Structure 1
Amino acid sequence: MTLIFNPDKYANLLSQYQPRLIRTEEENNKALAIVEELMHRPNRSLEENELYALLITLIEKFEQDYYSPGKASNPRSLLLFLMEQRNLKQSDLVDVMGSEEVVLEAIAGSREINQAQAKALGGFFQVDPSLFLT
């Protein structure tokens, strides 16, 4: 039995889910939820597989553009990103970095993170400490 791709069924799926370029984390989370749903759906149709592949491509593009380190990435932006991902507040880093003042200045960008702080942050976030050094 050969399965045949049904363009009408695919058009219906596209109409239902309305995939498009992902520009925000909220849109990314919605796309991830759809992918999760499709991933666990038993016996996906060819059309559902096509939608699944399309959403994965859109998610990968967004995450590569949004999360990958680039020219705009710096120790401060990485620190803010890691804090956001773990729902941390500035006060959560006081014990890691030494004082509230140091944390505030590092987050504000008015103080560079020194080697000892980079090592502590690397251990805390389980990343290479050199990411926090300029």
Structure 2
Amino acid sequence: MGYALKAVPEPQAILRAWMPFKQLIGVTSVHTEEDYAQAQATINALLVEIGDNESHPLADVLDYLADQVRAYEDENFHIPEAKPSDVLHFLMEQHGLKQDDLADCAPQGRISEILNGNRSISKEIAKRLARRFHVSIDVFL
């Protein structure tokens, strides 16, 4: 099955678009702690702007930076395997949160069921929790 590809821009045209973008963002790949901190700060600003709107024009930038951060974390941070409910409990404890503080993610009863191990975390709730705690959705699935 053939695909109709768009014309590929000349490398110099890509460079003319990339350099101002890179200068504005401050980081486009994450190789150091400084890059990591800058990318995290930019991600946080984008999350405030974008919210839950996955069709927002900046969503692709957010996804790109999140992929860069994830690759850096995978290479530099060892995260032990844990059940999603344990991860949620840990993050709530670290942030000093109670179940009703997560009403923006799920009803209190649902959070209680998840924490007690009586219910798994749905993909939608995992997305909300990942945004809330600024972590990868994978830790909740």
Same fold (TM over 0.5): no
Question: What is the TM-score of this pair, normalised by structure 1?
Answer: 0.45
Larger radius of gyration: 1
Larger helix proportion of the pair: 1
TM-score, structure 2 as length reference: 0.43
